[in-house]
Chain A
């Protein structure tokens, strides 16, 4: 799941990027309000972590601008101001959730997952297709009762496929979801991960739509 972090504080921003990456997210971090504003439309982000006190352009203005432009990406607002008034203002401006500093990284991750799940209309935390199931929090997938040995990227691809049932995912979209900006990307990386998953879950598990991309196939 690809997350946009807009946070001016270098330590918090760095921590969010490093920590959320470890928790299975693909993170892009921007420090300036204006960069953050423009970044949202440049890649298919699943959710945004937005700090309200930003230099250059206030977080609230960015949020308002996004919502005005019809962006419905879930936004988690971070704020150091805990006055009720400030929180209400954030929610009114179109935030889906907020956290008051200082916060726990695990809570940011949990709330992001909840926001994304809600957006996809899922109620259960667990993703599944046939006998294959995946726990986004535990970062583990199972075939029946047997845990699967998957790398972080393979797990991310599986998570992407499971959360986009009945959809064909274009190759470029998969690339963008799996890699943040500035991350090294080999030309056939997606094919490699698809190949690995097919080896572990069966060739029919992932269906290739020639010239378009990939979709979930037969349940394993």
Chain B
């Protein structure tokens, strides 16, 4: 016995509100981490300072990757909504790939810092930096995982109403992470040179 369409619509309306609320709580979470970072930023404790450590062009590359992924994510949703399964799935895959590349760059940057002896154990400032940026990275990881599951689901079951409701929540999440990254880029990376 399948569930009525009405029930799906009703459930989606709730899920959508619930998801927005979750994103609000995530904003508070990131805000706390930003505040922590800002408070600890001067405390370099003999380690390197933000302006000595960061390479803004590198962060810019990450930013471009993530912005592109946001764009392809939007396109993917559009195609799927109009029931173009293959282009939609390909765009979704590109989105996840770009996200993966972003994550790779982030890990690479972390490794570089640690090789230079600037790990999260070095100073309050670096603790704050790693916590903030890695939390974003963790969110991206979860996003990629989610995207993969969605990809597999649509690939198997097609573009069902349930699938679309999940895809739109996923894209909300992905855009949200993009916005958080813009803040990180501005406040952490560009802010280091102000």
Is the pairing of A and B real? no
